[in-house]
Amino acid sequence: MTVNNRGVKVVVAMSGGVDSSVAAALLVERGYDVTGMMLRLWSEPGAEEANRCCTPDAMGLARKVADKLGIPFYALDAKAEFHNTVVRYFTDGYLKGVTPNPCLVCNRNIRWEFLLNRARAFGAEFLASGHYARIHRREDGRFELWKGIDPHKDQSYALSMLHQEQIAQTLFPVGEFTKPDIRQKARDFDLPVAERAESQDLCFIGDRDYRRFLNEHAPDATHPGLIRNRKGEVIGRHNGLAFYTIGQRKGLGIASPTPHYVLEKNLATNDLVVGKEDELGQKTLVAHSASWILGEAPGETFSAQVKIRYRAEFASGMVFPLDASHFRIEFDEPLRDITPGQGAVLYNGEVCLGGGIIQESFE
């Protein structure tokens, strides 16, 4: 294996975290000609330290790792591209009344477009990252995206909008391992990042509350309004539709003997529609921006396991492609928190088939 890889140029997207550092180390160990690159995505005057993944501190760590591994390291500026695609997608989503998932767009347009293009121009055959996912080459030469081995860390959800040619030029070295394995490897490689904490929040918001971020960056998405029940009766006031998600129970401030849940956001009237637990639950969703890893839907109708959020459990259902960019899912059991703007990502066992962005849901 080592012999075959010798001289094959790979660029690793490094963040200064454990996973991408071990990814780089594994590739070096396997004989690749590895170069580290880090994207500067975001900085806000006065809050340079708030974001997680491209702070001077994270960059210093990534440089240390690169030095330890004896690989070149470069920082690339992608602030304008990140702002114009990812951050704008995020704020626009809230302005449209949905709960967007910017990571899907970031992976597709920033990491696997902006960075992949630069890696290719640099002479690399592959772009690697520290994502927990796997790539499987089929007999017909096409590539499948598989879940990472570790079910607690699988990140295929956030990669589900990548296209065939992007995946064909990608390596996910850590996807074959569990997170505890990777931490152990970081210690074995003596990387200075072995004990670093997980990053989980949106990188450009970091430790801060996303509500504050929206107040600053999309103030129009945060107008207070009325809370109504299904009958149209006013039963409370909300702080801005952007601050609520479908299925949410806490923080509604409704005085009532039984709990209320967010059922719907009505952007036209700026009303938040809530109801009792038995009013929750929908069995059908329609998704737009359909994207298939193999380039086309697996069939006219097919069954799949579906994730409706990154952290959701898998739910079984039948998928009906409607046209090139839309599909409908009918779930076996109703789901309480189908949220427009989040990805609906489809799986067949270990294989991630692709997905789309949830447009609406029905009972």
Partner 1 sequence: MMDLSTKIYLDYAATTPVDERVVEAMLPYFSRDFGNPSSVHGFGQQAEAALENARERIASVLQTSASEIVFTSCGTESDNLALRGAVLSQRTQRGANHLLITPVEHHAVGHTAEQLARYYGFELEYLPIDQYGCVDPQDVKARIRPDTALVSVIYANNEIGTINPVDEIGVVCREHGVLFHTDAVQAAAHLPINLEAAQIDLLAIGAHKFYGPKGVGALFIRKGSNLVPSQTGGAQEYGMRAGTQNIPYIVGMAEALRLARLERSERSGKLIPMRDRLIGQVLEEIPGVRLTGHPERRLPNHASFVFEGVDGNTLSMMLDGAGFACSSGSACKTGNPEPSGVLLALGLSPAWALGSLRVTLGKGTTPQEVDQFLSVLPGVVERVRALQG
- Catalytic site residues? 106, 203
CA distance 322 to 155: 27
Helix (H, G, I), strand (E, B) or coil at 92: helix
Q: How many residues form the binding site for partner 1 (CB under 8 A)? A: 18
Is residue 109 a contact residue for partner 1 (CB under 8 A)? no
Q: Given the complex with partner 1, which of 121 and 255 has the nearer CB atom? A: 121
Q: Given the complex with partner 1, which of 38 and 308 has the nearer CB atom? A: 38
Is residue 40 a contact residue for partner 1 (CB under 8 A)? yes
Of 20, 35, 109, 129, the one binding partner 1 by CB under 8 A: 35
Q: Which stretch binds partner 1 (CB under 8 A): 32-40, 177-185, 230-238, 334-342?
A: 32-40
Is residue 70 a contact residue for partner 1 (CB under 8 A)? yes
In the complex, least distance from residue 169 CB atom to partner 1, rounded to whole angstroms? 16
Angle formed at CA 201 by CA 160 and CA 109, multiple of 5 degrees: 40
How many helices (H) and strands (E) are present in the chain, helices listed first? Answer: 11, 17
Of 6, 49, 74, 269, the one binding partner 1 by CB under 8 A: 74
Is residue 116 a contact residue for partner 1 (CB under 8 A)? no
**Could you write out the DSSP letters of every residue in 221-256?**
GG--EEEE-TT--EEEEES-GGG--TT--TT-----
- Taken in order 49, 52, 58, 59, the sign of the CA dihedral is negative
Q: Given the complex with partner 1, which of 21 and 35 has the nearer CB atom? A: 35
Is residue 122 a contact residue for partner 1 (CB under 8 A)? yes
Length of the chain: 363
3-state secondary structure string across 117-164: HHHHHCCCCEEECCCCEEEEECCCCCEEEEECCCCCCCCHHHHCCCCH
Of 3, 121, 197, 255, the one binding partner 1 by CB under 8 A: 121
Contact 263, 336 (CB under 8 A): no
Residues that bind partner 1 (CB under 8 A): 35, 38-40, 56, 59, 70-72, 74-77, 117-118, 121-123
